[in-house]
């Protein structure tokens, strides 16, 4: 019997025009991969048992890694994809919070006609709460007060106001996975026999994970940051930041400076692959023409939280938008978070596979992936109905195998701008 990860890998490769690529190896069953990756420990109520997710997202991640191994063999890839979904929670010592995300920044709240997830990952968003909740009298410093104020609001009204104010908010809905995740790209050149040059303009998790996997595959990756707004992950767990960014050259530029913007444009113009997670307005301010870069033959990885590229979101709220909380409610009787900002690593994995497949085939084009859509699509790997879910839960609870060993960084991430002189001299 073919395991879920293998079936998922074959489906991805078929979308990428690589259906004849042979797959090797098998993955752990979905409930065991969920537990052994550390995801079970951050799924379920804080005062209840650790739970298995009804969606086989760990198998989806394992399938992506299986496909990566198939198209780029002889690389020291991570043990499996599921490991990447759980490693941040393990490194940070996060715990399950039920209706509160593992990092405690996002909360599921009941409103008059359903549920919404509100993510206050940025402290400045708290100043917008009186407008969001149409309540200027209440003290909204505590989550309990925020929930009380939200209870009388409709999900549509909250969503409209939140999106307008660039807050990370999502309404809970069943998953609506797209039939196809990856676009059909055009042939741009003969398939190259050299590693690609990658310019990574992204930050936090999904984009940097994509870039780190490309680096493992042999790509030369240049991480570009704004001097005035460095990657926020630099101030987080150092070991996790190193996992995502060690081995990349570092360029830091002042995007307000005309000369530095010209240097950025020259760097992007040399890139074979560009990774970015910016809103369209930000690209315009940087004077970067994505369409022109694609037209000249670049592979452009555009990562967003939602299909609307102007809409803000993070891994936990985007997963809710992708249907994950609804799946938890169907399986466990209550909307709960599953894993730790799981939409981020899922999207980073899929983006890396798409980029490498396009590079190998001499293709160019825009590969636009949203966190919400990628999460919904990953549900194709499997979905346990309540009876099967009870069996999955029993399997996971009986499993006494050790957790997958955590990865060690390939080194220490470079300081901001450490490689400016060397990299920019080539532009």
The CATH number of residue 252's host domain is 3.40.50.10540
Question: Could you tell me the sign of the dihedral formed by the alpha carbons of 276, 282, 288, 291, in that order?
Answer: positive
Residue 82 covered by a domain: no
Task: Give the residue from 5, 2, 1 showing the smallest Cα distance to 66.
Answer: 5
Burial of 6 (0-12, 13-18, 19+ CB in 10 A): buried
Question: For the ranges 154-168, 271-285, 336-350, which has the lowest average pLDDT?
Answer: 271-285
Residue 91 covered by a domain: no
Residue 203 covered by a domain: yes
CA angle, 364 then 190 then 268, to 5°: 40
Q: What is the pLDDT of residue 136?
A: 87
State pLDDT tens for residues 179-225: 999 999 999 888 788 999 999 999 999 999 999 999 999 999 999 99
Residue 218 covered by a domain: yes
Residue 384 tokens, joined: 């346990």
Cα separation values, 377 from 318, 346, 368, Å: 13, 10, 14
Residue 72 covered by a domain: no
Q: What is the pLDDT of residue 280?
A: 83
120 neighbors 313 (Cβ within 8 angstroms): no
**Chain length of the chain:** 427
Q: What is the pLDDT of residue 1?
A: 43
209 neighbors 198 (Cβ within 8 angstroms): no
State pLDDT tens for residues 341-392: 999 999 999 999 999 999 999 999 999 999 999 999 999 899 999 999 999 9
The radius of gyration of the chain's CA atoms, rounded to the nearest angstrom, is 21
Proportion of the chain above pLDDT 90, given as a percent: 90
Residues 59-68, mean pLDDT to the nearest whole number: 98
Residue 178 covered by a domain: yes
The residue with tokens 């009204």 is: 157
308 neighbors 302 (Cβ within 8 angstroms): no
pLDDT band at 242, cuts 50/70/90? very high
Residue 41 covered by a domain: no
Q: What is the mean pLDDT of the chain?
A: 95
Residues 308-316, mean pLDDT to the nearest whole number: 95
Domain with 272, as residue range(s), is: 105-384+401-427
| Domains of the chain: total | 1
Residue 302 covered by a domain: yes
């Amino acid at each position: 019997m073919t395991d879920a990860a293998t079936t998922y890998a074959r489906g991805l490769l078929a979308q990428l025009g690589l259906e004849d690529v042979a797959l090797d190896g098998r993955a752990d069953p979905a409930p065991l991969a969920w537990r052994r990756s550390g995801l079970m420990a951050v799924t379920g109520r804080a005062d209840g048992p650790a739970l298995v997710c009804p969606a086989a997202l760990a198998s989806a991640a394992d399938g992506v890694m299986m496909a990566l191994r198939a198209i780029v063999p002889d690389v020291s890839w991570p043990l499996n994809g599921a490991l990447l979904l759980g490693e941040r929670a393990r490194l940070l010592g996060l715990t399950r919070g039920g209706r509160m995300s593992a990092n405690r920044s996002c909360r599921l709240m009941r409103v008059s006609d359903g549920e919404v997830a509100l993510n206050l990952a940025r402290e400045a968003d708290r100043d917008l709460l009186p407008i969001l909740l149409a309540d200027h009298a209440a003290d909204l410093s505590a989550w309990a007060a925020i929930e009380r104020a939200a209870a009388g609001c409709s999900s549509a009204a909250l969503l409209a106001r939140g999106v307008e104010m660039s807050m990370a908010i999502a309404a809970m809905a069943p998953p609506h996975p797209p039939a196809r995740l990856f676009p059909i790209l055009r042939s741009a050149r003969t398939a190259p026999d050299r590693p690609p040059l990658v310019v990574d303009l992204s930050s936090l998790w999904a984009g940097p994970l994509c870039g780190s996997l490309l680096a493992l595959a042999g790509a030369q990756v240049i991480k570009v940051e704004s001097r005035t707004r460095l990657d926020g992950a630099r101030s987080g767990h150092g070991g996790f930041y190193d996992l995502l960014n060690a081995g990349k050259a570092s360029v830091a530029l002042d995007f307000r400076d005309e000369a530095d913007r010209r240097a950025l444009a020259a760097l992007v113009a040399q890139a074979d692959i560009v990774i970015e997670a910016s809103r369209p307005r930000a690209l315009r301010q940087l004077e970067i023409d994505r369409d022109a870069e694609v037209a000249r033959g670049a592979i452009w990885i555009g990562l967003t939280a939602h299909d609307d590229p102007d809409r803000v979101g993070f891994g936990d709220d985007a997963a809710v938008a992708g249907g994950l909380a609804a799946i938890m409610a169907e399986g466990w009787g209550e909307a709960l978070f599953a894993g730790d900002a799981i939409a981020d690593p899922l999207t980073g994995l899929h983006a890396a596979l798409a980029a490498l497949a396009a590079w190998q085939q001499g293709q160019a084009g825009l590969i636009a992936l949203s966190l919400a859509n990628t999460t919904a699509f990953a549900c194709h790997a499997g979905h346990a109905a309540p009876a099967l879910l009870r069996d999955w839960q029993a399997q996971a609870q009986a499993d006494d195998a050790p957790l997958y060993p955590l990865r060690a960084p390939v080194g220490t991430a470079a300081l901001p701008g450490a490689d400016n002189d060397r990299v920019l001299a080539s532009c």
